[in-house]
């Protein structure tokens, strides 16, 4: 009995795949495409003649094959937006389990013990117990619905623009480093702290640095508005009495401004610049992943 047509085509594709795995086919070598830039390269080439990417191993090629990177315009900003809301949902779940989610309290307060276990920054844990991973995990946690709403609104306002300018790898590095530096200064204060605002101030610091390197009325106006907003934010932290962590904000802002001065205000152009950017991005991505692994490993540790 004959197979239906769609099954015949499937079988034919499977046969071709198996022949390829077994080394079958006509055996004739074929030209290849560069996995990074898509240029047609020679049969025996080991490096792309257009962008210089190695055809055997390339961080750029590996990065480009990650679906979320190739399918989104601002992948880091989008992924971090989703990760922040995912962890907020986890925090909320633990807060409900602890019976601390009554009324409108989730607008500004979640369970502190759960937040600590999930990686909130605490000075004694960082310096005395060497839980350095908290400097990174803390930037993905929030203290309430208002806190995460305000921070994520600012992330999507400033993040995609800077990511487009720097490229996703360097933006990932800047976000991670400035957030960690912010929480390092926060940990010196010895109190429990969490939130994305240190990294967000790092983004604003980088944008401020860009405005100092570019002339024109638009850059001057942007710089003036950013400085005015920062003065208001820090004043609110000093006089508002609402738990704003000025240490984290100042550390993130300073680190972002420094990186903004060091980074070139454009996407990487040549192969050497692309490689450096990819290395920075992978180091930051691995640091974030390792921090969450360590958080999970220490999640059940007793709290003294």
* Catalytic residue numbers, as ranges: 197, 249
What are the structure tokens assigned to 47, written together?
Answer: 């490096």
CB atoms closer than 10 angstroms to residue 300? 7
Query: Do residues 110 and 148 touch, judged by C-beta distance below 8 A?
Result: no
Residue that the structure tokens 């937040």 belong to: 115
Cα separation, 45 vs 275, in Å, equals: 20
Cβ within 8 Å of residue 213, ≥6 positions away = 261, 265
Q: What whole-number distance in Å separates Cα of residue 151 and Cα of residue 178?
A: 15
φ, ψ of residue 193 in degrees (nearest 5): -145, 150
Kindly provide the b/e burial profile for residues 135-154, where b requires at least 16 CB atoms within 10 angstroms of the residue's own CB.
Answer: bbbbbbbbbbbebbebbbeb
Question: Residue 33 gets which letter from DSSP?
Answer: E
* Residue 259: its H or E element: helix 246-262
Q: Supply 98's token pair.
A: 């602890």
Ramachandran region, residue 103 (left: φ > 0; alpha: ψ -120 to 50; beta: rest): left
| CA atoms of 38 and 247, how far apart (whole Å) | 46
Assigned token pair, 251: 């550390």
Q: Return the H-helix or E-strand segment holding 74.
A: none
d(CA 249, CA 230): 9
Say if residues 194 and 138 touch (Cβ distance below 8 Å): yes
């Amino acid at each position: 009995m004959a197979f239906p047509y769609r099954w015949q085509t499937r079988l034919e594709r499977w046969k071709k795949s198996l022949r390829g795995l077994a080394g079958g086919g006509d055996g004739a070598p074929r030209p290849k495409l560069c996995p990074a830039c898509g240029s047609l390269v020679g049969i025996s080439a080991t490096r792309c003649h257009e962008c210089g990417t190695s055809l055997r191993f390339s961080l750029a090629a590996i990065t480009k094959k990650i679906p979320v990177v190739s399918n989104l315009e601002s992948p880091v900003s989008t992924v971090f937006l989703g990760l922040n809301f995912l962890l907020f949902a986890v925090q909320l779940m633990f807060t409900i389990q602890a019976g601390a989610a009554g009324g409108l309290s989730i607008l500004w307060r979640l369970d502190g013990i759960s937040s600590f276990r999930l990686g909130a920054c605490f000075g004694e844990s960082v310096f005395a117990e060497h839980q350095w991973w908290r400097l990174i995990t803390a930037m993905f946690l929030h203290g309430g619905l208002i806190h995460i709403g305000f921070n994520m609104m600012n992330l999507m306002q400033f993040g995609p623009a800077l990511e487009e300018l720097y490229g996703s790898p360097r933006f990932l590095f800047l976000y991670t480093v400035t957030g960690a530096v912010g929480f390092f200064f926060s940990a010196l204060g010895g109190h429990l702290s969490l939130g994305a605002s240190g990294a967000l101030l790092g983004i604003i610091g980088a944008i401020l640095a860009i405005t100092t390197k570019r002339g024109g009325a638009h850059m001057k106006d942007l710089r003036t508005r950013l400085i005015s907003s920062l003065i208001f934010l820090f004043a609110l932290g000093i006089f508002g009495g609402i738990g704003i962590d000025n240490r984290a904000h100042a550390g993130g802002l300073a680190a972002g401004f420094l990186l903004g001065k060091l980074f070139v205000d454009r996407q990487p152009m040549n192969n050497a610049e692309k490689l450096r950017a990819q290395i920075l991005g992978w180091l930051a991505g691995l640091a974030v992943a390792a921090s969450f692994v360590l958080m999970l490993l220490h999640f059940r540790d007793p709290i003294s």
